Structure formats: C-alpha cells, structure tokens
C-alpha cells in the first residue's frame, strides 16, 4: 500500500508528540521500513480546544530510514 505513495510528501508519526515529514523515496520489505528524502523532524502538539495534533516545530534532516515497527501512522500530505 505504501508503494503507491512513492514520490509524494508524507508525515510519519512515531508517537503522539514526534514524527518526520518528507518525500517518500522507497519502501523496504526486509527490514520493513521506509526511506524519506528532504526529511524534517517535527514536533506535534494537541490542545483541549483542538485535539488534532498540529506541527509546531521542525528540524531539518536529510535522508532518513524509518523502521515500520516504530510507526503509529503514515499520512500522505495533499499538494495543490
């Protein structure tokens, strides 16, 4: 399923306060994971008024491998 999103910008959420954002460049089967290009580490926060987590901070990274055992959710970011 992730193979269809190769080349698109994604947000990978690792826990409720942290994740990575970048372009999905490859999906690996052994070990199960994804490669991100032009990645940024992001800090997420939700409040009582707005419980959906929003990105409040970014730290630039370059290429990154993320093992799928540590991923809670992968979201494809819509580009217009």
Q: Mean of the pLDDT values across residues 53-77?
A: 91
Specify the CATH number for the domain of residue 11: 2.30.30.100
73 neighbors 66 (Cβ within 8 angstroms): no
pTM for the model stands at: 0.85
**Structural domain boundaries enclosing 25:** 2-75
Distance between CA atoms of 60 and 66, rounded to whole angstroms?
16
Domain membership flag for residue 28: yes
Domain membership flag for residue 80: no
Does residue 67 register a pLDDT over 90?
Answer: yes
Residue 8 main-chain phi, psi, to 5 deg: -100, 160
Domain membership flag for residue 22: yes
Does residue 80 register a pLDDT over 80?
Answer: no
Alpha helices in 1-80 (DSSP H): none
pLDDT at 64: 92
Number of compact structural domains in the chain: 1
The tens digit of pLDDT for each residue in 5-50 reads 898 999 999 998 999 999 999 999 999 999 999 999 999 998 888 8
The sign of the torsion formed by the CA atoms of 30, 25, 73, 59 equals: positive
């Amino acid at each position: 399923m992730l193979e269809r999103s190769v080349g698109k910008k994604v947000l990978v959420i690792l826990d409720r306060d942290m994740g990575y954002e970048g372009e999905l460049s490859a999906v690996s089967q052994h070990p199960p994971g994804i490669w991100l290009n032009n990645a940024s580490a992001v800090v997420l926060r939700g409040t009582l008024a707005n419980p959906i987590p929003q990105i409040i901070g970014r730290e630039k990274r370059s290429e990154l491998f993320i093992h799928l055992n540590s991923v809670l959710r992968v979201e494809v970011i819509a580009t217009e």
